[in-house]
Amino acid sequence: MEFSRDFIALACRRGALRFGSFVTKAGRSSPYFFNAGLFDDGASFNALCGFYARTIRASGVAFDMLFGPAYKGIPLVAGTAMRLAEKGMNAPFAFNRKEAKDHGEGGMLIGAPLGGRVLIVDDVISAGTSVRESVEIIRAHGGVPAGVVIALDRMERGRGDASALQEVNQAYGIPVLAVSSLDDLISYLDGDPELAVNLAAVQAYREMYGTCAIL
């Protein structure tokens, strides 16, 4: 998508996308690291949620409401719902608690009642645990998972030949939408004189652990 480059540029400026040597959850040494939590002021977070909204609108995925898994999905789902509403898509949203509340309104969920086609909004997918938990919550409350939208598709293999995103697609039959992908990042690095020094390392990582494009 044409705005993926703008998203990567913003992530680099904010330090949410960094280059160096980082160990992933899978124990791999990665030359880059993405942390959506570093969109930590009003302007940058507003822009981030705008990219999520544009990705959803461009995808054409049909949905009735949004769901954000705790914890990073909570502000993301609220912000994305607001940015969608600005474009005339006024979707209800909900999110969950990690622990049930035994006073006040109680329960595990906050926001609109889960129902219909529910689009999950999260930061990244690693092992797919968050998606699995979200799908279980949605189904338990009578909703139907409609898809997942994330910020960055690392496009790397999981335990087998498929990526975590492909495994989600295969397991639940739902699309995974990404604002940007590793291919977008490589293209961006290739065109940026200052960051091009990181290109060879990222390409080597792609060759070692990469898989085919998102389904």
Cβ neighbours of residue 176 closer than 8 Å, sequence gap 6 or more: 125, 147, 148, 149, 150, 153, 165, 168, 169, 214, 215
| Closest to 19 (Cα-Cα) out of 6, 33, 5, 8 | 33
- Alpha-carbon distance 87 to 49, whole Å? 13
Catalytic residue of the set 25, 72, 98, 103: 103
Catalytic residue of the set 72, 87, 98, 101: 101
- Alpha-carbon distance 17 to 171, whole Å? 29
Which residues on neighbouring strands pair with residue 17, listed in sequence order?
34
- Alpha-carbon distance 29 to 3, whole Å? 28
Q: Is 87 a catalytic residue?
A: no
Active-site amino acid positions: 101, 103
